[in-house]
Copies of this chain bind each other. A is one copy, B any other.
Amino acid sequence: MDFEILLKQIDFIKEIDKVKYIQRKTKLFNSNRNENDAEHSWHLAMMALILAEHANEPIDVLKVVKMVLIHDIVEIDAGDTFIYDMQKNHVNTDQERLAANRIFGLLPQEQSKEFIAVWEEFEAGLTPEAKFARTMDRLEPLLQNTSNNGGTWKEFDVDYSKVFEKKKIINEGSTMIWKYAEELINESVEKGILRKD
């Protein structure tokens, strides 16, 4: 029985290898190479471990790490949605929920339920853990774009107001990190790598 459980888990572990092929719009730091979802998720998990002390509220760090490690697994079926894509609203699409059910559904039943719940909690963004996980998810591309002379902001002509609108949610997870992020955004305008009309 335990062995059957293990075999299901191994099937899931093999399936999620596909996360390594999902390209994001953002590039690695000081680079022209696109980041993939596995690299992105690893980086967010490291950031969560390192920056946890700056959370506005007490957080269960293991849960935050789980959230950021799994948050893009649904993209195996649903694909990556660019955050500044105004045609496609990235709020828990039906396609993503179907993907969550199929992919986490490979796991043994209890574990499947647990991971779907963690993913739903991240997407809802209401708990202290989900807020902090989203803070990480918004901070990484900000660091990347500022290191890449504007990165996706320049490439897709995204201006200050759109960036500010998407990034201000960082404040919900950490006022301290938002203070830093806001400075970075303002500096980017001053440097001419982010357009403000």
Docked CA distance A33–B45 (Å): 24
A166 to chain B: which residues have CB within 8 Å? Answer: none
Majority-rule SS of A interface residues? helix
Interface residue A38 (Cβ < 8 Å from any Cβ of B): yes
A17 near B29 with CB under 8 A, answer yes
B111:A50 contact, CB within 8 angstroms: yes
Please tell me the number of chain A residues within 8 Å of chain B, measured between CB atoms. Answer: 46
Contact A45 B69 (CB under 8 A): yes
A82 within 8 A of partner (CB) = no
A-side residues, CB < 8 A to B, are: 2-3, 5-7, 9-10, 12-14, 16-17, 19-21, 28-29, 35-36, 38-39, 41-43, 45-47, 49-51, 53-54, 61-62, 65-66, 69-70, 107, 111, 143, 147, 176-177, 179-180
